[in-house]
Structure 1
Amino acid sequence: MLTLKIITLSSLLILQGCTSLAPQYQRPALPVPQQFSVGQNALVTARGINDSGWHNFFTDPLLKSYISEALQHNPDLRMATLKVAEARSQYKITDADRYPQLNGATDGTYSGPLKGNAATSRQYSAGLDISYDLDFFGRLKNLSEADRQSYFASQQAQRAVHILLVASVTQSYYSQRLAFQQLQVARETLINYQQSYSFVEKQLLTGSTTLLALEQAKGLIATTQAEVAKREGELAQANHALWLVLGRSSALAENNSQSIEHLDEVQLPPRLSSTILLQRPDIAEAEHLMMAADANIGAARAAFFPSISLTGDITGSSTNLSSLFNAASGMWNFIPKIDVPLFNAGRNKANLSLAEVRQQQTIVTYEQRIQTAFKEVADQLSLKDSYRAQLLAQEAYLTSLQVSLQRATALYAHGAVSYIDVLDAERNLFATRQAILDLKYARQINEVNLFTALGGGWVE
């Protein structure tokens, strides 16, 4: 008989663990083209980058130290970590309801008259209470699954914060490096203009030039001094932005000559499938939320069916502690209970409708995130070749300007051209040097943005 009871109970446990009224999850089709247009200069060799790929992607040691520091102290990342812990605890709480609950209790009662010599009576009791919901229709199972998927979604949200923080620190750092190098170019140009002024001044003493040329040289010095002051302000602002993202004061030393070129390119195959977007944390988070919504539908459907619970207890009572646990003083109770929903003013139907609407919302959110992600990656890919071509052209133009300035200076020294030709060459050279710095910065930020848009890198 005992064996039959054990077999029956085991069968019930297996049965209630296999039933679920949740819809079978199906990943929606990607609402974007199947492949990205990588461009003519795509690299055939692919370099995989995982969640911690920034260690290999960024080669500047100072930048890497800044990223590590931000990851340790950033409050947004700490909050995301705490939300993961919160979701994990919530899942454990919900999942615990699926299993039998066993509680023990003891008490003692003492009673006697207010008057008289009657002895005080004593009554002791101890027992075990057990309760268990037979989850035949998967309500508890689906509630647990919904919280489990929410926990997974919180992990992806934490990963998204991690990636965005790495990108933010990197952009702030390269903005600071850009401001520093632009200031250096302005200062070097000012020195050159001051030397040109001295040269024109000597020529004026010998009668080889005019006061107009000297005033033109002086004006160029004044405008460049204004440019230096402007770049100094921009460097101070870039320092403040970096301090903010790091949470401390971390100004770079003036003699730090680290360039803005210490960043590898994101290397991609000639054909990049749009399914690569599925590894982005925001899209993975949306997918887990879709799964959680499916589980909530299953729980709402199960509410239409009867719920079966088993409760029982074993208690012993005695006037003496020594005989409390004797079999003669014990009793047992077993109470099976079935609750059948008959009328609740449409509550169950409304709950199911609400769960279905929320599931549709998660699908829309998922599709929107994929479309946004596709645009972000496509935009950055389209800029890669553009920046490369612009930089090559500007560098060739810079070489030509340097030759033009040398020739204009030599011709002016012999009186063959006016000083305005020298001024034009110097102004164009200065502007082009600044433009090249801007392009290098834009190209590197493009790589950082692509690194971020691919979910912290891409894995082949």
Structure 2
Amino acid sequence: MNKIQFWTCTPLVFALALAGCGTLAPTYEQPAAPVASNWPKGEAYQADSPTAQAAIDLAWRDLFVDQRLEQLLELALKENRDLRIAALNIERARALYQVQRSDLFPTISADGEGNRQRLPADLSGGRSGGATPKQYSATVGFAAYELDLFGRVRSLNEEALQRFLATEEARKSAQISLIAEVASSYLTLASDQALLELAQDTLKNQRDAYDLIKRSFDLGVASQLDLRQAQTSVEVSRADVARFTRAVAQDRNALELLVGKNIPKELLPDSNLEGAAAMVELRADIPSAVLQRRPDVESAERLLQASNARIGAARAAFFPSITLTADAGTASSSLDGLFESGSRTWSFIPRINLPIFDAGRNSANLEVAKKDQQIALAEYEKTVQGAFREVADALAARGTLDAELDAQNALVEATSESYKLSEARFKRGIDSYLNVLDSQRALYSAQQDLIAVRLARTANLVTLYKALGGGWTESDANLASGYTSGGSNNDQRG
């Protein structure tokens, strides 16, 4: 091996030999979850059904029974702009990681240079009229390549990798949230349509009652008080019809925003909330450790690992750093002699930097890195605790909403009978119309509350599914209109 090859290859071999060295980052250990190992128990919580399924292992396509909702969710996964932004953020984070990872290797480039310079006589050896020297060169080499003796570059690379993976988990979390929001908006639209139909039916009945009272009033049988009370009921129902008409229109607008495009009419729900809300029963007799599989929790842990790696880079700044610049090629004073025999040239410039005095800069950077790691740990624990509360609240709602729904159904039946009895007594002249009006209002309110409880029960199933980390499957990774370009390798290390 000649000298040029020796001096050019030695730094590369040396650098590769150091590639297996470790870093100065603390050894990472997954923090203990700051929550109980099991969900709360008590009167508010019910036992799981034998046919219930675990949300974490249940794809969203298997949760919803309504085919229209399933098609709407597929459309949203392709068209929703927030999901596109999340996917593009992954691509950006992947590119940033590749930029940081490239620092592990020397950047080799080929350079060609020509130089002509006019020198005065006193700088050219006393030549009359001065001199115009020429120089041409063609070289291949690398500049300022850092030998990663103490793992600074590898620590920064690990930080970039973990931040990239955190962004990927954030996309999964965004998808789960989108599925839950679309389903909830779909159910809300169905509920408001049911309320609108109820208000319209009530308005028709109120107008019929008003017409009857008006005829009785004209005949002198009914009092003016009865007439005005009947008119009051009509106006209340008219206001409700207008209010729920507005709500239905706004619900459609919200649903179209989530989906990302105009929704075909055949995919919109009808007022049958029971059909729209049909879902698979979920089980919760699983340990709370399942929360660590939630994408938002995994994202928080990735950021914790990134801050842990940052400490290694901050520690490495206290130690000497060595950078290498080397090139080899040819040089000549004439262009045609650039590749002739004897024109070979090379240079090798090692540079070492030893920190002596920096006025506490490195110490402060290390302290910042440690505090960032503590902040990331607190953020991770907060995320786990928030996830635990979401599940616990959803379980408490699931354990009580069935009983509330049964009670509300019974209330509707009771108020319906009360209304029929009071109406019959009024027609017989036993009671005033005020009793009829009170019974009618109680029935209308009970029917509205029944729709609201049905919505709360079905929406709670969606919330529970989201809180338990369901809704993400690898088969959905490329649904966002091509805005993702392949999955990442979670086991990749620079």
Shorter-chain TM range is: 0.7 to 0.9
How far 1:357 sits from its partner (Å)?
1.0
Structure 1 residue 12, shift from structure 2 partner: 5.5
- Corresponding residue number in structure 2 for 1:86: 92
Q: Give the aligned partner of residue 13 of structure 1.
A: 16
Shift of 1:458: 8.6
Q: Tell me which residue corresponds to 1:341.
A: 355
Which of residues 170, 188, 202 in structure 2 aligns to 1:189?
202
Matching residue's letter, 1:42 = D
C-alpha distance in structure 1 between counterparts of 2:472 and 2:346, whole Å: 62
Aligned residue in 2 for 1:124: 136
**8 Å Cα contact 1:57/1:263 also seen in 2:** no
Q: Contact (CA 8 Å) 1:43, 1:270: kept in 2 or not? A: no
Aligned to 1:277: 291
Whether contact under 8 Å (2:191, 2:271) holds in the other structure is no
TM-score normalised to the size of structure 1? 0.85
Q: Which amino acid aligns with 1:30?
A: A
Q: C-alpha offsets along residues 150-180 of structure 1, whole Å, 9 cap, x if unaligned?
A: 1111112222233333333333333222222
1:60 corresponds to: 66
**Other-structure match for 1:23:** 26
Per the alignment, in what secondary structure is the counterpart of residue 272 of structure 1? coil
Deviation at 1:77?
2.8
Return 95-104 or 337-346, whichever deviates more: 337-346
1:372 corresponding residue in structure 2: 386
Corresponding position: 1:107 with 2:113: yes
| Percent identity (aligned) | 36
1:450 counterpart (449, 457, 464): 464
1:145 to 129, 143, 158: 158
In the aligned structure 2, how far is the partner of 1:130 from the partner of 1:251? 59
Tell me: CA distance 1:130–1:204, structure 2 relative to 1, closer, same or farther (3 Å).
closer
1:286 to 286, 293, 300: 300
- 1:357 counterpart (363, 371, 375): 371
CA pair 223-347 structure 1, distance change in 2 beyond 3 A? closer
Alignment of 1:209-248 (within 5 A): 216-246=229-259
Q: Does 1:436 align with 2:450?
A: yes
* Contiguous gaps of at least 5 residues in structure 1: none
* Number of residue equivalences: 457
**Aligned partner of residue 93 in structure 1, secondary structure:** helix
**2:164 aligned counterpart, secondary structure:** helix
Output one character per residue of 1:316-367: Cα deviation in whole Å (capped at 9) or x when no partner.
Answer: 1235666533452212333333322222222211111111111111111111
Is the CA contact (8 Å cut-off) linking 2:319 and 2:354 kept in structure 1?
Answer: yes
RMSD: 3.8
Decide which moves more: 280-289 or 33-42. 33-42
Is the 8 Å Cα contact of residues 377 and 454 (structure 1) preserved in structure 2?
yes
Q: Which amino acid aligns with 2:101?
A: D
1:305 and 2:319 correspond: yes
Once residues 470 and 202 of structure 2 are traced to their aligned partners in structure 1, the CA distance between those partners, rounded to angstroms, is 39
Work out the CA distance in 2 between the residues paired with 1:200 and 1:310.
100
2:483 alignment partner in structure 1 = none
Q: Which runs of 5+ in 2 are unaligned?
A: 121-127, 474-494
Q: 1:364 to 1:456 in 2, by over 3 A?
A: same
CA contact (8 A) 1:123 1:317 kept: yes
- 1:20 touches 1:138 (CA, 8 Å); kept in 2? yes
Q: What SS does the aligned partner of 1:126 have?
A: strand
Provide Cα deviations, 1:271-322, integer angstroms capped at 9, x if missing partner: 2311121122222111111111111111111111122333322121235666
Moved more, 380-389 or 153-162: 153-162
Q: What TM-score do you get using the length of structure 2 for normalisation?
A: 0.79
The code of the aligned residue for 2:103 comes to D
Q: C-alpha distance in 2, partners of 1:51/1:18? A: 40
Residue type of the alignment partner of 1:40:
Q
Separation in 2 of the partners of 1:340 and 1:142? Answer: 19
Query: Does residue 180 of the first structure (1) align with residue 186 of the second (2)?
Result: no
Cα deviation, residue 386, structure 1 = 1.5
How far 1:210 sits from its partner (Å)?
Answer: 6.8
User: In structure 2, do the counterparts of structure 1 residues 302 and 410 end up closer, same or farther at CA, with 3 Å as the change threshold?
Assistant: same
Q: How many angstroms does 1:111 deviate by?
A: 7.6
